[in-house]
Structure 1
Amino acid sequence: MTQTDLARVQLGGAVHQNSALSRTGLQERVFSKLFQGLVYAQIWEDPVADMVGLDLGPEDNIVCIASGGCNLMSYLTASPASITAVDLSPAHVALVRLKLAAAQTLPDHRTFYDFLGHADKDSNIALYREFIAPVLDAESRRWWDSKQGLLGRRINMFRRGLYRHGALGRFIAAMHAVSRLGGVNYAPLLAATSLDQQRAFFDAEIAPLFANKAVRVLARQRAALFGLGIPPAQFEKLARDGGGDIVPVLKERTRKLMCDFPIQENYFAWAAFNRGYKDDGTGPVPPYLEAAHFDAVRKGAARATVVNRSLTDMLAGLPEASKQAYVLLDAQDWMTDAQLNALWTQITRTATPGARVLFRTGGTPDILPGRVAPALLDRWTYHPDLSRRMWEQDRSAIYGGVHLYTFDG
């Protein structure tokens, strides 16, 4: 079985919950096909909020989902003992391995930032050829050197603007197109110097868009949110927070992104409304791109591993009581009860006492009670106050909840 075939089977197992002949089943298969390519050039969860709850240190061995890799790379600033990341998308695996290789081989922080911060310079191709490609594994190098339709080799994304690519990049481009049709210019938001200015911009320019009939009809289509990495099962969880209507949920989370954090400190807002980090390199970025953290990231990158497997399967091959932190992103929103119990069986088996599990949910409630067997879940303690605080601090603003459990042993 080729790597592409394996990825297709794994993604199908994760996403396909309904018959292919049903409308939802067809949407699930379109979504899993999309996920075989690049979805996130930048992960859409806040690593700073994560590290409040994870309290990482040099003795911690971390397990996480790779996605676009920004959080894995940012966890390296805490100098953990190891990080093992998994992803069902071969594209995400290739991207994160590229980021790790860049951290270890590029000459200094300036070139590292050119490559992954600006990510749109002609010189980045030469950096790839001279420093990164020679140390990449053969599979990842083939992915980056292969052609992508009429756009040339995939590595050219780092010349054209990495953060404008992938399903999320295309979704943001579509959002900008809709905004232009509505007469919205994001420059005043990006230049705002106070939360009051940001709130005034939202109230005047963005809130009216959510009252537009065409926008409301579009937003209610499940496929419209595939570019955010939201499968049909998660779409329904999001809609529950709005009484069954996704529109008020999207409006409130857009408001949080725009209004609850100073724009000059929120790189997620820049990614959304500038389609990349601040052009002159002086704006907010993920921790791993900050100059102060470059040495720690460079040293830690060799202790990180990325594999193209499901999280449950990877954990099944690990020794008992060998891990101290688990970051599940929002993957559990996709899972059936059987899949959740299989995952938590392996988490519980591999966790040391005091281990932390952090995850996000599209809706507000914790999804585990009543679904994961009490014999498993009763061995863990949920931390509602800290979970709420992490959610409040999560600048990405897209999720309804951030949740933290610790293992009692």
Structure 2
Amino acid sequence: MTQAQTLDHTSDQSIEHRIGTAVNQNAAHTREGLLERLFGWFFKGLVYAQIWEDPVADMNALQITEQDDLVCIASGGCNVMSYLMAQPASITAVDLSPAHVALNKLKVAAPRYLDQNAFYDLFGHANKDSNIRALDQHVLPHLDQITRAYWNKATWRGQRKQMFARGLYRHGLLGQFLKFAHALCWAGGVKFDKLLTAQSLDDQNAFFDQEIAPLYDSRFVRFLANRRASLFGLGIPPAQYDKLAADTGGDIIAVLRERTRKLFCDFPIHDNYFAWQAANRGYKSDGTGPVPPYLEAQNFETLRACVDRVEVLNQSVTEMLAAQPEGSKSVYVLLDAQDWMNDDQLNDLWHQITRTARPGARVLFRTGGLTDILPGRVEGAILNHWRYDAEASTRATAEDRSAIYGAVHMYRYEGA
């Protein structure tokens, strides 16, 4: 075995252990344990080519400034890149998935070596042959060896980087989930053109009532939705599935129907790139549709000027924070990761957050269910240092155009 192979083997074992620690809450021989390990296996690969949390809602709540040092979970990287519009002092982005780390490192490097049009081709259109030439000539040579090897690795469909020529947003676990969802919609006669050309919220509501809502009454959709593994494609592990269903007394269909309705009906289609991704499996093909802030042409120079402030690490948030000095961070964005955690993991995380928080620090996170999961689980000696910001939480929940989660929550540091 070569040195490179040894390093890869060790890395694979480390990744498997980290993901297992995050996901596995039950013994392997139990039904729940088997589902958790299956989810962990999927999570080693690319899950999200686009993150499904709204960075605009986040920034409105957090009021990020140039003095802020951010910690966030990377996922597909749209949040990391979009937060740079506020020009914070630093962003440390972490993720357990090596695929997400590789995607984020690519996103961070690309603005340094591409102009705005080529950058948009890569992540906006994300389906052009010229993207591969741009990667090979201008971006990949500047990446570290591990990241470069990830994108050049051959798979049964060709090298991984080929997904930028075939439609990036049709790849990953979510991309495959949406492909299957579209097949179900096609079988049910759904035509998304009606949604994508809607002129008003009334038109969008009519589309949902006529085309989407009836699908949730079908026996087949109900059968699928009531299987925990069916929602793995949304990045929802078994523990989070239960939190989703709890809001409606165990009726997961009611939850999915309402959140799909919010996605398609509560925000104008011309302003909701999440709805475009769900209905079109990509952004508008002519480049005139809604996109995340980091892809908007007027933001490119700010993006290019600030990408050097981002560090991307293949670690858990707790692991990364444990190595940071006291009082060194001011903004923490945890996505929905806490829905996966047991009480010990939650307390370890919040101990490190509290230790590293400086005056004025904010923590923002999402939950699959409606309620805040911290009271009664995180020790009072830790949580008493923080104040729940109900106003900001309610506003961010209402503004989140992705509509996937039950609620957005924000805490403010009250000091020692």
Shared topology, TM-score over 0.5?
A: yes
User: Which residue number in structure 2 is paired with residue 288 of structure 1?
Assistant: 294
Code of the aligned partner of 1:382: Y
The partner residue of 2:406 within 397, 400, 407 is: 400
* Matched position secondary structure for 2:173: helix
Code of the aligned partner of 2:277: A
Q: CA deviation at 1:130?
A: 1.0
Q: CA deviation at 1:141?
A: 0.4
Q: CA deviation at 1:252?
A: 0.1
CA distance in structure 2 between the aligned counterparts of 1:243 and 1:269, rounded to whole angstroms: 27
CA distance in structure 1 between the aligned counterparts of 2:414 and 2:306, rounded to whole angstroms: 29
Whether 1:9 and 2:7 are equivalent positions in the alignment is no
Whether 1:35 and 2:36 are equivalent positions in the alignment is no
Q: CA deviation at 1:385?
A: 1.8
User: Which residue number in structure 2 is paired with residue 135 of structure 1?
Assistant: 142
The partner residue of 1:82 within 87, 90, 111 is: 90
CA distance in structure 2 between the aligned counterparts of 1:6 and 1:131, rounded to whole angstroms: 31
User: Which residue number in structure 2 is paired with residue 269 of structure 1?
Assistant: 275
User: Which residue number in structure 2 is paired with residue 26 of structure 1?
Assistant: 34
CA distance in structure 2 between the aligned counterparts of 1:320 and 1:103, rounded to whole angstroms: 32
User: Which residue number in structure 2 is paired with residue 278 of structure 1?
Assistant: 284
CA distance in structure 1 between the aligned counterparts of 2:144 and 2:124, rounded to whole angstroms: 23
Q: CA deviation at 1:273?
A: 0.4
CA distance in structure 2 between the aligned counterparts of 1:385 and 1:302, rounded to whole angstroms: 33
Q: How does 1:82-231 map to 2 (within 5 A)?
A: 82-106=90-114, 108-148=115-155, 150-231=156-237
Once the two structures are superposed, residues 260-318 of structure 1 have per-residue CA deviations (whole angstroms, 9 ceiling, x without a partner) of: 00001000000110000000000000000001110111111111000101110100000
Percent identity among equivalent residues?
61
Once the two structures are superposed, residues 88-117 of structure 1 have per-residue CA deviations (whole angstroms, 9 ceiling, x without a partner) of: 0000000000000111111x2111100110
* Matched position secondary structure for 2:65: coil
CA distance in structure 2 between the aligned counterparts of 1:367 and 1:26, rounded to whole angstroms: 25
Code of the aligned partner of 1:278: K
Q: CA deviation at 1:77?
A: 0.7
The partner residue of 1:301 within 304, 307, 318 is: 307
Number of residue equivalences: 407
* Matched position secondary structure for 2:128: coil
User: Which residue number in structure 1 is paired with residue 6 of structure 2?
Assistant: none
Whether 1:346 and 2:328 are equivalent positions in the alignment is no
Q: CA deviation at 1:245?
A: 1.2
CA distance in structure 1 between the aligned counterparts of 2:48 and 2:13, rounded to whole angstroms: 21
The partner residue of 1:58 within 66, 70, 84 is: 66
The partner residue of 1:332 within 328, 338, 359 is: 338
CA distance in structure 2 between the aligned counterparts of 1:207 and 1:110, rounded to whole angstroms: 39
Once the two structures are superposed, residues 6-48 of structure 1 have per-residue CA deviations (whole angstroms, 9 ceiling, x without a partner) of: 1100000000000111001000000000000000000000000
The partner residue of 2:395 within 379, 386, 389 is: 389
Runs of 4 or more above 6 Å deviation: none
Code of the aligned partner of 1:279: S
Once the two structures are superposed, residues 328-355 of structure 1 have per-residue CA deviations (whole angstroms, 9 ceiling, x without a partner) of: 0000000000000000000000000110
CA distance in structure 2 between the aligned counterparts of 1:109 and 1:313, rounded to whole angstroms: 35
Q: CA deviation at 1:51?
A: 0.3
Code of the aligned partner of 2:302: A
User: Which residue number in structure 1 is paired with residue 5 of structure 2?
Assistant: none
Q: CA deviation at 1:3?
A: 1.7
CA distance in structure 2 between the aligned counterparts of 1:45 and 1:318, rounded to whole angstroms: 26
Q: How does 1:214-253 map to 2 (within 5 A)?
A: 214-253=220-259
Greater mean deviation of Cα atoms: 292-301 or 63-72: 292-301
Q: CA deviation at 1:2?
A: 2.0
Scaled by the length of structure 1, the TM-score of the pair is 0.99
